């Protein structure tokens, strides 16, 4: 099931590619916040993974070597995040997942928009808060239904790398590591199996067009243990309107 909000915001659900960088924690956070801006404010915007990845620093973890989802959301509260247009992702080529080689180092924080006509501070979008959702399926469903996608992390095993379709459950293979993704909905099959629907960031050639389902209600691979999110803020909206008015004023002179 997808919330009724999501029909108009489906455009934001297209999958990205984290490329040669362990930036899953940043992708999942930024994509979820982008969706929430659409749901709560009707804004179809793509926020910048690069800003969060490069500029959050040690507070968020180790950049391309992994990070902490809750601190990504706290970064949104205290520092905001610019748009993708202002600060595009540093690795646009993508690769075959998982385990892209070679691994790239974390990009440097520049704090200047690629488009010199845009100002970094004016492009910032904020979250009101950063919070954890209780680790039970009903609390998670209520949060997604009311406010939009959330960020989750779970343990990835070797068999997940070969997922193509259906409801994933770990059967065999060693641990590959932790991974963060965006949880966008849930459902139940005709056979009565409950599942979560999630968007990965290993591009659309992986899984089911970039998406996957995983068993719901049993904390499969720890998927229900660490669920985080935040509500989008209207902070900086006045500045954006003022900037537009200033441009219009200049044109009319």
SS (H, E, C) 135-169: CCHHHHHHHHHHHCCEEEEEEEEHHHHHCCCCEEC
Using CA atoms, how far apart are residues 107 and 112, in angstroms rounded to an integer? 13
Q: Among the options 9, 21, 24, 55, which is catalytic?
A: 24
* Residues contacting 231, CB < 8 A, separation 6+: 36, 40, 127, 128, 129, 147
Among 15, 60, 113, 179, which one carries the catalytic annotation?
179
Distance CA 152, CA 167 (A): 17
Residue 179 is among the residues annotated as catalytic for this protein: yes
Q: What span, in angstroms and rounded, lies between the C-alpha atoms of 27 and 16? A: 8
Choose, from 12, 15, 147, 200, the residue flagged as catalytic: 200
24 labelled catalytic: yes
Q: Which residues are catalytic?
A: 24, 179, 200
């Amino acid at each position: 099931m997808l919330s009724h909000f999501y029909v108009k915001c489906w455009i934001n659900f297209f999958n990205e590619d984290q490329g040669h960088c362990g930036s899953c924690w940043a992708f999942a956070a930024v994509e979820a916040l982008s969706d929430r801006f659409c749901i709560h404010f009707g804004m179809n915007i793509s926020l910048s993974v690069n800003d969060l990845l490069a500029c959050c620093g040690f507070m968020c973890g180790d950049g391309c070597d992994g990070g902490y989802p809750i601190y990504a959301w706290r970064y949104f509260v205290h520092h905001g995040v610019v748009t993708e247009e202002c600060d595009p992702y540093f690795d646009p080529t993508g690769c075959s997942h998982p385990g892209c080689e070679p691994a790239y180092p974390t990009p440097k924080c520049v704090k200047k928009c690629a488009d010199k006509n845009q100002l970094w501070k004016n492009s910032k979008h904020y979250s009101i808060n950063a919070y954890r959702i209780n680790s039970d399926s009903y609390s998670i469903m209520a949060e997604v239904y009311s406010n939009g996608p959330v960020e989750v992390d779970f343990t990835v095993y070797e068999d997940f790398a070969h997922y193509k379709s259906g409801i994933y459950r770990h059967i065999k293979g060693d641990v590959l590591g932790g991974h963060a993704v965006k949880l966008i909905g849930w459902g139940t099959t005709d056979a009565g199996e409950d599942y979560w629907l999630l968007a990965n960031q290993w591009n659309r050639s992986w899984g089911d067009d970039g998406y996957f389902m995983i068993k719901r209600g049993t904390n499969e691979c720890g998927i229900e243990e660490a669920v985080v999110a935040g509500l989008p803020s209207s902070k900086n909206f006045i500045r954006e309107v003022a900037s537009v008015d200033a441009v219009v004023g200049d044109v009319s002179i």
